[in-house]
Amino acid sequence: MKGIWLARLQNLKRKPLVLLSMTVMTIIFAYVLSGSVGGSIPFLVATDNTSISKQVLKKLQGEDDYIATVLTEKELRNILDEEQDKIGVLLNEKTYSVISSTDSEVVRMLSLEIEAVYNNLAFRDQVIANSSESTWAEVEKNLVEEQAFQINITPMDDSQVFRYDGALQSLFGFMLYFVFYTISINVQFILEDKHSGIWNRLKLASISRFQLYFGHLSFSYAIGFVQMLLVILVFRVIVGTNMYGGFWKVVIIAGFYVLLVMAFSLFIISVVKTVSQSSVIISLLAVAFAMIGGAYWPLEIVQSESLLAMKWVSPIFYGMEALKRVTIYGETLGGVMTYVSMMILFAVLLLAIGITLLEKRTERYHSSE
């Protein structure tokens, strides 16, 4: 097994481009598409350029919980037509509109925030009209210092509320997507060794089948886990992405996801004849799994029941849901044990099936690619 690791390390040293490119692309795509947003809620906003709408916008821009991107109404509607996961706000002199494809808790809280700003401005104007600006200043001071009530709004079932964090959606989505390729490419070395005859020569050298599989698979696991750990550290330490206190839970779940992808990759190479066939199948499945697994967009905005039903076959779905639950939703590892258990179960089954098929059909790897 030590010899396998040394050989794989030498190969990685000669050809580090795959690992480096997948890691760099994950960081670039996640950072650019998230807009470097932290835990604040991003939304698009357009005004009719009246005094009231500008004051409302100024108030929203001063809130730490929201990040407003100001556009024209035409630009806003064009973006919302193309990107359904975005939230748009139209501010007029006396009314406002919140445009979203889902009726989520984020949309409702944003609507309440905007309505409160409009009401406060209307109340201020009424006080000033009936008295003076100095009177309003005194009233505002009293409202701040002598609040009669402190209202804390929480949903009745917090686990059912849709929460969206653009930074984490992009980070988790692209991280799970690109590491799928990294692990799959490394697992394919088993197929290459069987084709070249190295596998049989190693078995003749008194190396057991367990050592052969464990050497290759453990190296592939280590490479995939290191890639995910590097990406997580970059975004947590350097970029400063808010992980809601779930950093270590993210790392643990990443370890289970790597195990599942490694097992799935082993299963793929056990049912194909050549490395090229394996590469094509993995490329197609990686894109499909990312789409139906929620890597590109939140599954909460998907309306098709058939697409939602397909998510259960995607390894990326289990990783995305577990990661979002322990961060955005603040759940414990016990709270996501269903997803973790599914990853472990599928990994064990796929490893067993893959190794069995590889051993039974070893002769097929003697044909040239």
CATH of the domain at 102: 3.40.190
Short-list 66, 64, 68, CA closest to 45: 68
Helix 247-270 with 315-327: angle, nearest 10 deg: 180
Same domain, 155 and 304: no
Going 164 to 166 to 171 to 177, the CA torsion angle's sign is positive
**Cα Rg of the chain (Å, integer):** 26
Short-list 278, 250, 256, 280, CA closest to 265: 278
Asked whether residue 368 carries a pLDDT value surpassing 50, the answer given is: no
Same domain, 156 and 175: no
Same domain, 204 and 349: yes
Q: What is the mean pLDDT of the chain?
A: 78
pLDDT band (50, 70, 90) for residue 365: very low
Asked whether residue 185 carries a pLDDT value surpassing 70, the answer given is: yes
Mean pLDDT, residues 81-106: 80
Q: 89 or 304, which is more confident?
A: 89
Q: What is the pLDDT of residue 280?
A: 87
- Owner of token pair 């996640």: 30
Other CB atoms within 10 Å distance of the CB of residue 123: 14
Asked whether residue 37 carries a pLDDT value surpassing 70, the answer given is: no
Short-list 207, 169, 208, 129, CA closest to 321: 169
- Read off the pTM: 0.67
CA 189 to centroid of chain Cα atoms: 28
Domain carrying residue 124: 41-160
Strands 88-91 and 96-99: antiparallel
State both tokens at 246: 């779930």
Same domain, 191 and 275: yes
Q: How many CA atoms lie within 13 A of 242 on its CB side?
A: 13
Mean pLDDT, residues 210-236: 84
Q: How far apart are CA 4 and CA 205, in angstroms?
A: 13
Domain boundary (160, 183, 209) is at 160
Q: How far apart are CA 11 and CA 7, in angstroms?
A: 6
- Owner of token pair 């809130």: 63
Instruction: Report CA-CA distances (Å) from 127 to 15, 61, 170, 203.
Output: 72, 25, 46, 89
Asked whether residue 165 carries a pLDDT value surpassing 60, the answer given is: yes
Same domain, 221 and 149: no
Asked whether residue 177 carries a pLDDT value surpassing 70, the answer given is: yes
pLDDT per residue as tens digits for the range 327-353: 888 888 888 999 999 999 999 999 999
Q: How many domains does the chain have?
A: 2
3-state secondary structure of 44: strand
Residue 186 buriedness (CB in 10 A; 0-12 / 13-18 / 19+):
buried
Asked whether residue 192 carries a pLDDT value surpassing 80, the answer given is: no
Instruction: Report CA-CA distances (Å) from 345 to 337, 348, 350.
Output: 12, 5, 9
Asked whether residue 362 carries a pLDDT value surpassing 70, the answer given is: no
Same domain, 260 and 359: yes
Residue pair 173/31 in contact by the 8 Å Cβ criterion: no
Same domain, 153 and 195: no
